[in-house]
Amino acid sequence: MLADAQSTGMPEVPEELTSGSIAGLTSTVDDLLGSGCKQVALDCASLSRVTSTHINVLWSIRAKCLERSARLTLNNVNENLQRVLKVLDLLDMFDLQTTIRRKGSARPEAVQAAAPDEEFTIRFAASSSAVTSATTELRTRLIQRGLEEKSITELETVFYEVATNIRLHSGISRGETVTVAIALSRHEAVMEFKDCGKEFDPTSLPDNFVPSEVINRRQRRGIGVTLIKRMTDDMRYIRENGHFNILTLRKSLERIDE
Amino acid sequence: MSDFGITTKDVGEGIVVIKSAKLLDNNNAHEMVQAINAVQGRGIKFIIIDMTDLQFISSAGVGSILGTVESSREMGGDIVLAGPSETVIHVFRVLDLLDYLTIKGSEQEALAFCGAHNKV
């Protein structure tokens, strides 16, 4: 059984790596893992400059986490770090989050993006058939929009998986409605899911899908979360006024007419 | 065929084809598991899942396959996915499953694969 899934803090990866700062960071991670923490998040906001030493440190921390069956997440990952990891073919080796999930009464501020030129709302009841119908409705709108098939597939899949998670885990009744506000601009899609179910932050769920383990253990769980996280560029969650779950997902788009 | 209907067909030589409908999601993933388990329970080693009509697969649909493929492999057989669209393949690709699943471009290719391996 997992220990408390939330890390007790978020150690920061310092930009200046000295033997002292490396030892300090490593020690902090060791303490977290030793306390039974199964989800370690590192704050990479300071990494305006990424060196091989940074990568070595991150790699060794990843190995420590794997030894303890813990999940490592790199938070506040900037373009520099993403680029270095991509060049080194390490992007798939780390769980990257470009934002920190926020909780509070304020709505998440907009990430830099062009103003949407199309907005619509899809509402559905918390039933399996209604989720399927709503997903089909979304697909139809996206085809009309002229999006490239890969973007349509990913948005459709994310919509379905999030909607299904809400249906299955939020505790709302079949008669209650989930509202999804969708905004499309030339290069981005934003989907905001709002439901009145019990508090549930899907951004805290780990993406720990390992094909060989799933097949060997005949597991069928956790695939939906993995699809959501891998098919979106940004996820933010807030609990609004103690009554509503608001999950906002952003995804960059490809258009077939470009 | 409805959007969710799953049908099973014996094609001989110890091979069964299970045809997926347009959608394989939470509405019918359990039916896929039941269909596969029923075939495996008869000792059939090779199952072809005809995905030529499949337009959307959810995590539950993926799980219905992943949760059963190992049983066929332990029997010396396999579950072969036939004719999936690029849409479906993309979902498998995102999940890093392309190296783990046996995928063929058509039912004919899948039958040839099963036939060849069934003789070994």
How far, in Å, are A114, A126, A204, B9, B88 from residue A236 at the CA level? 18, 22, 10, 46, 27
Instruction: Tell me the pLDDT of chain A averaged across its residues.
Output: 81
Domains of chain B: 7-113 (3.30.750.24)
Report pLDDT digits (tens) over B59-113. 999 999 998 998 999 999 999 999 999 999 999 999 999 999 999 999 999 999 9
Lowest mean pLDDT among A23-27, B30-34, B51-55: A23-27
Decide the pairing of beta strands A244-252 and A234-240: antiparallel
Which chain B residues contact residue A129 at CB under 8 A? Answer: 27
Say which CATH superfamily domain A2-96 falls into. STAS domain (3.30.750.24)
Higher pLDDT, residue A215 or A20: A20
User: Which one of A214, A219, A230 has the shortest CB-CB distance to B94?
Assistant: A230
Which fold, A118-252? Heat Shock Protein 90 (3.30.565)
Residue A67: how many other CB atoms lie within 10 Å:
9
Report pLDDT digits (tens) over A202-234. 888 877 777 777 777 666 668 899 999 999 999
Report pLDDT digits (tens) over A97-155. 654 443 333 333 334 445 778 999 999 999 999 999 999 999 999 999 999 999 999 99
Q: Which residue has the tokens 């799933």?
A: A214
Question: Best of B59, B65, B91, B99 to disrupt the A interface by mutation (most A CBs within 10 Å)?
Answer: B59
Report pLDDT digits (tens) over A142-201. 999 999 999 999 999 999 999 999 999 889 988 889 999 999 998 899 999 999 999 888
User: Which one of A131, A150, A216 has the shortest CB-CB distance to B90?
Assistant: A150
Percentage of the residues of chain A whose pLDDT score is greater than 70: 85
What are the residue boundaries of the structural domains of chain A, listed by start? 2-96, 118-252
- Kindly report the pTM of this predicted structure: 0.69
Cβ-defined contact of A216 to B56 (cutoff 8 Å): no
Cα gap A110→B113, rounded to integer Å: 51
pLDDT at A220: 60
pLDDT at A17: 80
